[in-house]
Structure 1
Amino acid sequence: MSNLQFVIDGPPHGKARPRITRSGHAYTPENTRKYEKLIRDVASLAAYSQGWKITDEAVAVSICARFPIPESWTKIKKQKALSGELYPVKKPDSDNITKAVLDAMNGIVYKDDVQVIDIRVIKQYCTTGQRPGVDVEIKPVITKGA
């Protein structure tokens, strides 16, 4: 099986914590539900077009979250962001971005995100010509002795 790759357009979002009503009912915030649906839709289309079959084997996931460079920054600061000298050390956290992406791919890319044994996440600013988004790549992991 080959790798699966897709891009989620738009600024990266993290998975928000569940909210609790006064009656004690927990629910996922609307923004998180919408973002995970977007990821599911993009992942489904990519899996179909790339011939990816849902797997129950181990996988490795690489995530690159690309953030826009703030317009208010000075020319020097923008140049440092473009050259990779500055990174977006701001919200959303890498782990929350990861959680949103992995949870959304359950039942589409793999049966459950427990199968993800290797994760690489990087947050960076968009370079010239790039738009904000999240690049995702899933690779099957060949286990030794299997």
Structure 2
Amino acid sequence: MMKFTVLGIPVAKGRPKFAKRGNFVTSYTPQDTVNYENLVRLSYQQSCNELRVLQGEVSMKIDAFFPIPKSTSKKKHQLMAIGAIQHTKKPDADNVAKAICDALNKIAYVDDSQIVSLEVNKYYSDVPRAEITITEVKHE
């Protein structure tokens, strides 16, 4: 099992952008997505003592913590901080997972198609971050 934390506000995978260059159209990934994927890779490499690329089936759990809005009342702030009120705003959980899963391709596992189980939870917190747990699925 590999467990690590990515500090900062979790970022959703952005849709590819297209640009016309002369007679050709090229696609590129938005810079916010590129920066976040690099941060995920760096956090993984710094946190995991045993860096090995998993070959088999993988299970992943992502707990994404988003900042509590400043306009929130004290009572609601407390409820958000303890998880009684969960994050239901954008970004979507699946897009946050996509950014993290894509970032870990070829460094945590060969390809994100190996992920057979994925759990994503969104919470509020005073410390925005993403806590990621990757487990190799063992069949007995």
* TM-score clears 0.5: yes
Secondary structure at 1:25 match in 2: strand
Contact 1:14–1:99 (CA under 8 A) maintained in structure 2: yes
Residues 117-136 of structure 1: matches in 2 within 5 Å? 117-126=116-125, 131-136=127-132
List structure 1 runs of 4+ shifted beyond 4 angstroms: none
Secondary structure at 1:24 match in 2: strand
Deviations 1:93-135 (A, max 9, x none): 1011000000000011101111100000000011xxx511000
Q: Which moved more, 1:84-93 or 1:4-13?
A: 84-93
Deviations 1:17-43 (A, max 9, x none): 000113421100111111101111111
Q: Structure 2: how far apart are the matches of 1:40 and 1:120?
A: 19
Structure with the largest fraction of strand: 2
The residue that corresponds to 1:69 in the other structure is 68
Secondary structure at 1:34 match in 2: helix
The residue that corresponds to 2:36 in the other structure is 35
Alpha-carbon offset, residue 84 of structure 1 = 2.2
Q: Structure 1: how far apart are the matches of 2:51 and 2:139?
A: 19
Q: Which runs of 5+ in 2 are unaligned?
A: none
- TM-score if structure 2 supplies the norm length? 0.92
- TM-score if structure 1 supplies the norm length? 0.88
Deviations 1:36-88 (A, max 9, x none): 011111112223x2x14211110100000011111111122212212322111
Residue-pair matches, total: 137
The residue that corresponds to 1:7 in the other structure is 5
Secondary structure at 1:61 match in 2: strand
